[in-house]
Structure 1
Amino acid sequence: MRRVVVTGLGMVNSLGLNKSDSFKSIVDGKCGVKRITSFDVSDFPVQIAAEITDFDPNTVMNPKEVKKADRFIQLALKASKEAMEDSGLINNEGKCAEDIADRFGVSSAAGIGGLGNIEKNSVTCFERGPRRINPFFIPSALVNMLGGFTSIEFGIKGPNLASVTACAAGTHAIIEAAKTIMLNGADKMLVIGSESAICPVGIGGFAAMKALSDRNDEPQKASRPFDKERNGFVMGEGSGALVLEEYESAKARGAKIYAEIVGFGESGDANHITTPAPEGEGAARAMKAALNMANIKIDYINAHGTSTFYNDLFETMAIKKVFGSDIPPISSTKGQIGHCLGAAGALEAVISIMAMQSDTLPPTINQEVKDPECDLDYIPNIARNSKINAIMSNSFGFGGTNGVVIFKKV
């Protein structure tokens, strides 16, 4: 089986428009959650989110093309451009070389896709009639258009895949890309997880499920994974991108190698459409599969850690079940950047790899009231310096879909 390494990273979220600024703010325990400004929330029970307020899509697309792409695609272009430049695989024109294009693919992910555009065009259809629907509506909203737009942007002509597995989508996209390279379907893969669902129907829909925190008066304290006072997740938006490459080709070209993918696991709960399997049984099976493949000691776990009661409790129970008495430090970075849904796994993989590179464990912020049922070392509030050789990143989604990936230093 061919070895797969990471040679490029990029991300954008509510704390930064690039990976360096974002990671520093995450490690410093800053929080990107604030009152929503993109639409009037006065009548909404939830009025907060980890919204990106300083992103200009004209910086990544021709202004005439912006209307053809939903915001989740625009954010993906921003993150993927950073990752591609970081990898050294594109030329001065921003394209990959023709001699590698056929063996260079894309694995993209989103949980919902162009929800904002779906909402706007539905309203237009009912209020003004079907003839007033934007002709770019459908191609702007499809999840696989992440791969469509980025493959066109960079001249990538290999496999073009898309994962739509709720909050596990970003991690599944990494796994699918790794499998493709391992099985010789491509030599290089751009992985992109992106989401932008902070719109009236997105916030209203999750609020109707009672899934979101309504701590509107204290937005910076609202997302509090594993804390006893948590009362729901906070929606975020953003994009994470990774360039994966076959190890020997990366080494031969002198690429900067961030990490190697050494294990992954996937499972299904077959239990409930929104609630995890009791005691995290499905999550535990995914973690076990990844550990069996990697056969390595884990030094840090980036938890799914949504700040919801059942996720935090059952993930804690699953980690105990899998690791026994030898449990590594754990943190959830959703307190800083919110829950970015289908982008979460890609963003958290980038964060975890950067943590490993810098030997810095990011904190779980807003750990103020200890939950006796979530009693592990969740790196409360303050980052920690620690030697990290291998990390695990967990993602669990609605429908009982689970993905776990393990990276190690090379």
Structure 2
Amino acid sequence: MRRVVVTGVGMVNALGLNKDISFERIVKGESGIKRIESFDVTDFSVQIAGEIMDFNPESVLDPREVKKAHRFIQLGLLAAREALQDSVKDSKESFLNENLEVFSDVGENFGISSAAGIGGLENIQSNSIACYTRGPRRVSPFFIPSALVNMLGGFVSIQHKLKGPNLSSVTACAAGTHAIIEAAKTIMLGCVEKMLVVGAESSICAVGVGGFAAMKALSSSHNDNPQKASRPFDKKRDGFVMGEGAGALVLEEYESAKARGATIYGELCGFGESSDANHITTPAPEGEGAYRAMKQALQMANIRPDYINAHGTSTHYNDLFETQALKKVFNGNVPPVSSTKGQLGHCLGAAGSIEAVISLMAMRSGILPPTINQEESDQECNLDYIPNTAREATINCVMSNSFGFGGTNGVVIFKKCK
């Protein structure tokens, strides 16, 4: 089986428009959670989210093209561009021209694996309103292609001339991780040499916030103190906080990366997938499905992680059952764990790709990101969650967990490449 390595990463979230600023602020324990500004939340029980405030869509698209792509696609384009540039930055050979298009002799062997949990939800909302209040002729001709999840991969592939497989994962909050796994499988099977993974989400709109709030899934007790709302594994956690953003990774066959002198962030050495087959929203008791996905990934990797980026949503059952699954799979001797959703909110389908990028940057820098808002210990969640303050450490292997509605689970493990 061919080895798969990561040669470039990019991300955008509520703490920054690129990977370096984002990671620096995450390590500092800063929070990007604030009062929602994109629509009037006066009548909403939940009024906070991890919104990105300073993004200009014309930084990634011609002004005439902006209306054709929903915000989740635009954010994905930004992260994808950064990952591709990062992949060739210090290498002996580049595969990009001055327009950031992949050379024609590379393009057919370069695919894309994209991911989102919901896609263009705000466009669905606005066009539905237009249809029922002003008539069907008021529906935008760009509505459908701007809202489809797989159009993230479509826009990215068109912009960068990627002509290999164009795949898409729509598996709720595990989508970003599943996109990594699908890309890795494609390379391992010898279908292509390179795959660009892009997970993106932007669902902070009236129907998105209203829908999750109606499920009682969101934190509703910190509207006046937003930065304290997302508190993974803390005793007083009361729900997750919505976030938006995108994460991107360039996956490459090891020999190809080595031959062009690419900088390697890490090798994807293990992955696992499972289904809870239990409930549409609540994880399986004791994290049984999560346990099987982690066990599968660990058996494939055959190495113990030094750090785990947990799914850690800040909901009661997710944090409890993930803790129980971690204890079981590591026989009680669990490595340091943190959830960066305390800083960014839950970016839904983009979470897995963003958190994979964070995990790789943690391994590269030797810094364990903290779990912020760890103020009161929960006796049932009693692992080392790296509370509140980042920690220097020797990190040779990292694991990232993602679990989604419908009981879908994905786990990836990266190690330093030798």
TM-score bracket, normalised by the shorter chain, equals over 0.9
Match of 1:195 in 2: 201
2:384 to 377, 380, 398: 377
Unmatched segments (≥5 aa) in structure 1: none
Q: Aligned residue for 1:361?
A: 368
The correspondence of residues 64-79 of structure 1 with structure 2, limited to 5 A, is 64-79=64-79
**Amino acid corresponding to residue 113 of structure 2 in structure 1:** S
Structure 1 residue 326 displacement after superposition: 2.2
- Aligned match of 2:129: 123
The AA in structure 2 aligned to 1:141 is: A
Q: Render the CA deviation track for 1:69-114: whole Å, top value 9, x for unaligned.
A: 0000000000000001111131212101111110100000000000
* SS of residue in 1 equivalent to 2:102: coil
1:327 offset after TM fit, Å? Answer: 1.0
Deviation readout 1:280-314 (Å, 9 max, x if unpaired): 00000000000000000110000000000000000
Q: Superposed, which structure 2 residues align to 1:220-235 within 5 Å?
A: 220-235=227-242
Hey, what does 1:162 align to over in structure 2?
A: 168
Q: Give the C-alpha shift of residue 185 in structure 1.
A: 1.1
- Residues 34-73 of structure 1: matches in 2 within 5 Å? 34-73=34-73
- The RMSD of aligned alpha carbons is 0.5
Residue aligned with 2:197, SS: strand
Equivalents in 1 of 2:413, 2:57: separation in Å?
A: 33
Distance 1:41 1:370 in 2: 32
Are positions 1:264 and 2:261 aligned together?
A: no
1:391 to 388, 395, 398: 398
Distance in 2 (CA, whole Å) between partners of 1:94 and 1:285 is 40
1:161 counterpart letter in structure 2: L
Within 5 Å, which residues of 2 pair with 1:139-218? 139-214=145-220, 215-218=222-225
How far apart, CA to CA, are the structure 2 residues paired with 1:374 and 1:322? 15
Deviation at 1:325, TM superposition (A): 3.1
For 2:156 and 2:352, locate their aligned partners in 1 and report how far apart those are by CA, in whole Å.
19
Partner SS, residue 6 of structure 2: strand
Q: Residues of 1 paired with 2:338 and 2:229: CA distance?
A: 16
Q: Name the aligned partner's letter for residue 4 of structure 2.
A: V
Structure 2 residue 337 is matched with structure 1 residue 344: no
- The residue that corresponds to 1:15 in the other structure is 15
Find the counterpart in structure 2 of residue 405 from structure 1. Answer: 412
Describe the SS at the equivalent of 1:16: coil
Per-residue deviation, residues 100-159 of structure 1 (Å, max 9, x unmatched): 110100000000000000000000000000011000000000000011000000000000
Q: What is the rounded CA distance, in whole Å, between the counterparts of 1:15 and 1:40 in structure 2?
A: 22
Match of 2:92 in 1: none
CA distance in 2, matches of 1:87, 1:23: 18
Report the CA distance between 1:178 and its aligned residue.
0.2
SS in 1 for 2:234: coil
Report the counterpart of residue 100 of structure 1 in structure 2.
106
Say whether residues 1:251 and 2:242 are aligned partners: no
Query: AA paired with 1:140?
Result: S
The aligned residue for residue 91 of structure 2 is: none
State whether structure 2 residue 329 is matched by structure 1 residue 322: yes
Q: Which residue of 2 aligns with 1:25?
A: 25
2:115 paired with 1:109: yes
Q: Give the aligned partner of residue 4 of structure 2.
A: 4
How far apart, in 2, do the equivalents of 1:143 and 1:187 lie?
A: 24
Matched AA of 2:148 = L
User: Is residue 2:307 matched to residue 1:300?
Assistant: yes
Q: Please, which runs of 5 or more residues in structure 2 have no aligned partner?
A: 89-94
**Alpha-carbon distance in 1 for matches of 2:96, 2:15:** 27
Distance (whole Å) between structure 1 residues aligned to residue 182 and residue 192 of structure 2: 11
What is the number of residues matched between the two proteins? 410
Cα displacement (A) at 1:264: 0.1
1:132 aligns with 138
TM-score normalised by L of structure 1: 1.00
What is the one-letter code of the residue matched to 1:181? I
Please state whether the residue corresponding to 1:82 is helix, strand or coil: helix
How high is the sequence identity, in percent, across the aligned residues?
73
- Following superposition, the deviation at residue 218 of structure 1 comes to 1.0
**What is the alpha-carbon distance in structure 2 between the residues aligned to residue 286 and residue 325 of structure 1?**
17
